[in-house]
Structure 1
């Protein structure tokens, strides 16, 4: 079936792009872009590529041979994805080399595509690359460097991928390997950098993504180049796609909720990250809420005979989506405290004066982050989430917790780089001396998180003799871009 191409993706020089420009033009507007010039000093571009621009497979089999990786069989579908098998890197390289010398008919059936290799986690001392500045406000991976996402005692295992993985990946595939149509995990942003080779990308914006689903919005088209059933997918032929060819040493930014299908036009190695932050946090929450409602509806018929129906729904949500409501709530609560620490530390080291227009970009960024989290917490409250027995998150225990201290340090370092400011000291203990009152740091429900954020900004304002000024700014930080997600619904991107 022929698809309708309605345009291409813009390519710009990433070296000429500030973080603020990138945030305003692409994060806030949720638009894709290809960036050039950001990979010149990467070690991966030297070690992983031969002199003639091909993947240096021998380097991988020499240095990383025993690593266990997931490999997709491109010619075999399994449910909604390609069949996955586990093998060592050396086995994968051997298969690739053997396949490249075999010209038998039906070769595509044997193509393997190494995906989702947690290379950074496995080889932290081998610095293959540095994350570009415009992609560095990465709450997901900052958090997973210090905490586990999911700790349900019934499902927790030390090496469980859901519990302990990051979302930094290496992909390797021969010409012809590909990835079926999908939107990224958590509806996160992603970036993909071609170390060598070329990729063809087909994008569908969120406002049209309902066109690739069946009438019940359950099943998605697998391969847009196959014969797609008009009966099952009646809207498919109305979809207008954007096309992009990504060259070697180019990076592509994939926004939240954009469905895409990717084909390797040459033997290719790429580095990929998934991440989210204040700009697309609402996409993450909306996906969780949608998946929760689907999980609940799916087992609704056993509700009356189930002793703990809500917890069962949450366990199913964690298994299917990667986290449940409580995981997400702990995540945004800890980040709220880390952001408050950074904001207080910033203001105590600067001249906190009106007019607020004179505040630094970092101060505005931190307030914007709190406003985003606060809106999500209010939405969680309105949806009646976390009404069960989930326990208490006591943030007062964080002030001397090594994991939290490292999260604060990592966050501070990130914003120092993003806004090109001098590094500053921060004292978690000082902040806790300001915030420690009643039970404001003991959080059980979304309304408690809203109270914590409001209380924190009021106390910080009062500490500098500017009673309530931050709270008024927080209330005025309103979304200015609305974007449709999935088949329907609005997303506020800030």
Structure 2
């Protein structure tokens, strides 16, 4: 008699129920915002110190004389004006005219912007070496031999200058020590199968071997969780020295720059950035090799966006979806949602990552967005967000989840969830975006109703995919979707956009009409035998659109039906309250 395939699952559930009778204590995770003891290298003080010197005539006179006519400008405007100087020698000379201007031109962001602009304006992709700071690198001076001017106490009291330095000195290990200790306990208990009931606000850990695709799609697709695995060979054992030894001269994308790994390694060792550069690469030549060295968790392999890979890869308009992530301690990502309403998994290979997560419909504290969430504004960086008290504000929201992934663990991020990530150590990670069947409705709603927010689809690959689909796969067929795809292709041909736009994101090209990605996706689902799944998703999409309309208009679907002309004719009355001249109230 063959064993019952459900026996293993039932045993696991029984074990889980037994262990979950135990529970962890609910301990406060609030952090204490402490004052940074390190002094600014130039002795710049916080703005509050200016109240201590409000009657000091000598200091006021010294500042006025040091700035000359520039003293008439508010500090914010002065800093803005300095960013318009695009010549390093002019900036250097200006910084030598007075102690106060030296302090304002010591700001790293000014030199970083100048560096990035110089890269954009030339064919040179990177400097020969990193000198410890953007200022020293641009000026070609050794930071060890760079003489700094020490300002008299309270001569310059400026949050604009002091705050970035304060953020660059933040010690997350100390700040999050309670959370780190607690999460380490959960991590070790999960590896030893010592499962317990978690307090609110924590992220559940699940052994990778115990979660089936069916369970994921029915029970777990809507909430973040952490996959654990006892097998230390489950993920590649890449650390930064290993990657550096293999790819020292390969250029990787680090936000605004593209450096080879040897140069980035020098940056990792020594930088003064408030927000350290984060390597987030999907297209370097190294990634071709690295993608062959790991395997996605089985529950995340179901990915409907693979349908955009047509004609055996000859026509592939799928947005980038797999990245290598490398960053120093203190780096990370501010609050965001993953593109095109995709879900994601993120495997920590080296270093610990702290996650702050909020579900759709709840905007994180300190983050501003419009109704459509097309524009997102937040503090300059993660450290600023934490120091300003917004982390503690997030913990007051009962739906907020905070957790830490340790090396070998994999975080699942459901589509539409806000998340911010802080690297507690120098880190290496892998991440991929995907669309499972359980999130098909969400993805279709985004592609249909948020067309101006679609990203990652590039014009030429989309055009090639549409042409191949219409002329080969859908040849002889016609419907509204196919007609829209043909119209787009004809419009594209008439614009003569030029080869320069081949790598542009579709959202950045104003000349193009909205791309019919939604229509193409529907037809690809049908062509690949997913008619039933598509029909279910479209039915759910109608309900979702109806609920969204009700939220926007303040009127329910039932009310809309009662007040439509068609219903008025059928039933002989209306709740529209449209009184005309023949009313009985005349």
C-alpha contact 2:306 2:318 (8 A) present in aligned 1:
no
Structure 2 CA distance for aligned equivalents of residues 252 and 136 of structure 1: 15
How far the C-alpha of 1:319 sits from its partner, in A, is: 1.9
Structure 2 CA distance for aligned equivalents of residues 116 and 487 of structure 1: 39
Structure 2 CA distance for aligned equivalents of residues 144 and 311 of structure 1: 23
Largest Rg, 1 or 2: 2
Match of 1:23 among 217, 221, 236: 217
Deviations 1:162-209 (A, max 9, x none): x57530111011111110110001110000001111000000111313
Alignment-derived partner of residue 422 in structure 2: 263
Structure 1 CA distance for aligned equivalents of residues 553 and 349 of structure 2: 37
How far the C-alpha of 1:93 sits from its partner, in A, is: 2.4
How far the C-alpha of 1:283 sits from its partner, in A, is: 2.2
Alignment-derived partner of residue 227 in structure 2: 35
Alignment-derived partner of residue 439 in structure 2: 280
Alignment-derived partner of residue 332 in structure 1: 522
Q: Is residue 535 of structure 2 the alignment partner of residue 371 of structure 1?
A: yes
The structure with higher relative contact order (CA 8 Å, sep 6+) is: 1
C-alpha contact 1:332 1:373 (8 A) present in aligned 2:
no
Structure 1 170/142 Cα, relative in aligned 2: closer, same or farther at 3 Å?
farther
How far the C-alpha of 1:109 sits from its partner, in A, is: 3.5
How far the C-alpha of 1:258 sits from its partner, in A, is: 0.5
Over 6 Å off, 4+ runs: 2-5, 235-238, 376-380, 486-489
Structure 2 CA distance for aligned equivalents of residues 265 and 323 of structure 1: 43
How far the C-alpha of 1:292 sits from its partner, in A, is: 3.5
Match of 1:92 among 264, 268, 293: 264
Structure 2 CA distance for aligned equivalents of residues 21 and 129 of structure 1: 23
Q: Is residue 279 of structure 2 the alignment partner of residue 114 of structure 1?
A: yes
How far the C-alpha of 1:21 sits from its partner, in A, is: 1.2
Structure 2 CA distance for aligned equivalents of residues 136 and 243 of structure 1: 26
Deviations 1:35-71 (A, max 9, x none): 10186434622xx1xxxxxx2x333223223433211
Structure 1 284/311 Cα, relative in aligned 2: closer, same or farther at 3 Å?
farther
C-alpha contact 1:193 1:251 (8 A) present in aligned 2:
yes
Q: How does 1:131-280 map to 2 (within 5 A)?
A: 131-141=296-306, 143-144=308-309, 146=312, 163=317, 166-209=320-363, 212-214=367-369, 218-222=375-379, 223=381, 226=384, 239-240=397-398, 241-280=400-439
Structure 2 CA distance for aligned equivalents of residues 38 and 320 of structure 1: 44
Structure 1 CA distance for aligned equivalents of residues 315 and 384 of structure 2: 37
Match of 2:507 among 302, 319, 324: 319
Structure 2 CA distance for aligned equivalents of residues 487 and 184 of structure 1: 24
Query: Is the partner of 1:208 in helix, strand or coil?
Result: coil
Structure 1 120/334 Cα, relative in aligned 2: closer, same or farther at 3 Å?
farther
Over aligned residue pairs, what C-alpha RMSD do you find?
Answer: 4.6
Q: How does 1:69-88 map to 2 (within 5 A)?
A: 69-72=252-255, 84-88=256-260
How far the C-alpha of 1:112 sits from its partner, in A, is: 2.2
Q: What is the TM-score when the length of structure 1 is the normalising length?
A: 0.51
Q: What is the TM-score when the length of structure 2 is the normalising length?
A: 0.44
Alignment-derived partner of residue 395 in structure 1: none
How far the C-alpha of 1:214 sits from its partner, in A, is: 4.5
Structure 2 CA distance for aligned equivalents of residues 14 and 323 of structure 1: 44
How far the C-alpha of 1:111 sits from its partner, in A, is: 2.5
C-alpha contact 2:251 2:284 (8 A) present in aligned 1:
no
- The alignment covers a number of residue pairs equal to 302
C-alpha contact 2:323 2:432 (8 A) present in aligned 1:
yes
